[in-house]
Amino acid sequence: DAGVIQSPRHEVTEMGQEVTLRCKPISGHDYLFWYRQTMMRGLELLIYFNNNVPIDDSGMPEDRFSAKMPNASFSTLKIQPSEPRDSAVYFCASSLGRRWEKLFFGSGTQLSVL
């Protein structure tokens, strides 16, 4: 299996622009997680899905952030409008069941908002 695939690897955009991050989980995994990593706050859980349904979005910082999972093999995290403080590395992870030792991370998207 190719693992969790995220795109793009790097994204540079200007403040106010819409940003869409993409994730393809490991085939057969039923949980998908979006994390954000910053120097100040470390690794934070933003939202997670089970069987394509959002279960907990309490970590989503603001209404500017939204996430969708239209099917079992694809998820997006959208920021509209983007702000410089959104600059971070965004990770997607997936697991079969919510068993943490079976949690696999993608390589992340490095987002820079100028």
Stretch of 13-21, 22-30, 73-81, 98-106 lying at the interface with another protein (CB under 8 A): 98-106
Q: Which of 46, 108, 111, 113 binds another protein (CB under 8 A)?
A: 108
Q: Which stretch binds another protein (CB under 8 A): 19-27, 66-74, 75-83, 102-110?
A: 102-110
Binding flag, residue 56, another protein (CB under 8 A):
yes
What b/e string do you get for 10-23 counting C-beta neighbours within 10 Å, with b at 16 or more?
A: ebebeeeeebebbb
Instruction: Give dist(CA 18, CA 79) in Å, integer.
Output: 6
List the Cα angle 94/105/88 in 5-degree steps.
Answer: 115
Chain residues binding another protein by CB under 8 A are 4, 42-45, 56, 91, 93, 97-101, 103-108
